[in-house]
Amino acid sequence: MDAFEPISPDWTQKATHAQNFCCPRCGRLPGQAKSVWINRRSPVYTENHRRKWQEFYACECDAVWWAWSSDRPPSEFSDRTISNDDMPPDGLF
């Protein structure tokens, strides 16, 4: 199952909304899920005009849960700055 399929898989029908971005039954994180599906066909727009999607997860403990993409914790890479050493030389592109 591709996470970006346009049609939802049957297992998403029994999903419960997780208040924290982890399995409500066992606490596993999304990276440990057996299956993932993102409902990109029906984005919701927030008050500041940003989009958010429902992300569905089938956990290893057989729980099925969903959470808003906007509730996802920040990535470990989100606060990194790019130094000039990481940039290609001028004129290369």
Q: Give pLDDT, residue 24.
A: 96
| Model confidence at 38: pLDDT above 70 | yes
Given phi > 0 = left and psi -120 to 50 = alpha, else beta, which region is 14? alpha
As a whole number of angstroms, the distance between CA 68 and CA 6 comes to 17
H-helix or E-strand spanning residue 52 = strand 51-58
Please report which confidence band the pLDDT of residue 3 belongs to, taking 50, 70 and 90 as the band edges: confident
| Segment 4-19 mean pLDDT | 91
* Token pair recorded at residue 78: 């989100």
**3-class DSSP state for residue 53?**
strand
pLDDT tens digits, one per residue of 40-60? 888 899 899 999 999 999 999
Average pLDDT value for residue range 70-81? 78
